Structure 1
């Protein structure tokens, strides 16, 4: 691809948009909650416990209900997940992460629809994917009813 003035200008505008996102309050909140999560010793213990149990759980899943510790490890996994989800630092980080992802999804949809209404922008978010004729990258070769244009 030859570098034209138009493509250089588009790249400059894209860099500016990226810088605006990085400087946004949403991105700042994300970085702040990530830093808080990393420094929170109790959160790190909960995460480490979850990872440890998750590894056991994945091993149990290979054998399913026939594993001798299936019930115990499955229950421990649910308990660890609940403890992880209810931890203040973890839930604050997850909330900030979701808000940043929503911002990026909105930008992607705006850019895609500015080019053409037929552009499919896979956001992984049903709210944004609902306007698309395809639920965001079906990968079924058109059997879902979407059309490759």
Structure 2
């Protein structure tokens, strides 16, 4: 691509937009929640326990219900996930993460609509979530795109 003055201007404006996001209160709250999460020993212990259970889960998935420890490991994974999600620090981080994702989605929507209303924009981290049937493309063909 040959750099034209127009493309250079677009890149500069994109950089400015990125800097505005980095200076936003939403981003600052996200950074603080991430820092709190990384420094909280209990939250880190719960995350590690969940990840360890998830590793066992992945091993069990190769055999499915035929694995001798299937029910025990499935239950353990759900319990570890619940324990992790119920931790206040983890919950605060997830809220901050969703708020930052929401801001980025809104910025993406505004930029896309300024170009054309036909441009599809990811929402909640998913591309093409909304369809006329209310099912996403991951619904096994329920959206009608197959």
Q: TM tier, shorter chain? A: 0.7 to 0.9
**Structure 1, unaligned runs of 5 or more:** none
Q: CA RMSD in A?
A: 2.8
Change (3 A) 1:107 1:136: farther
The residue that corresponds to 1:105 in the other structure is: 105
Instruction: Tell me the distance in 2 between the aligned counterparts of 1:130 and 1:107.
Output: 18
Secondary structure at 1:75's aligned position in 2? helix
TM-superposition CA deviations, 1:30-89 (whole Å, max 9, x none)? 110000000000001101111111111111111111111111111111100100110111
Task: Confirm or deny that 1:79 pairs with 2:73.
Answer: no
Instruction: Tell me the distance in 2 between the aligned counterparts of 1:131 and 1:100.
Output: 24
Contact 2:43 2:89 in 1 (8 A): yes
Task: Confirm or deny that 1:31 pairs with 2:31.
Answer: yes
The residue that corresponds to 1:91 in the other structure is: 91
**Structure 2, unaligned runs of 5 or more:** none
The residue that corresponds to 1:130 in the other structure is: 130
Aligned residues: 142
Instruction: Show the 5 A alignment for 1:15-26.
Output: 15-26=15-26
TM normalised by structure 1 equals: 0.84
CA shift for structure 1 position 3? 1.8
Task: Confirm or deny that 1:11 pairs with 2:5.
Answer: no
Contact 2:129 2:137 in 1 (8 A): no
Instruction: Tell me the distance in 1 between the aligned counterparts of 2:102 and 2:122.
Output: 12
Contact 1:46 1:84 in 2 (8 A): yes
Contact 1:124 1:136 in 2 (8 A): no
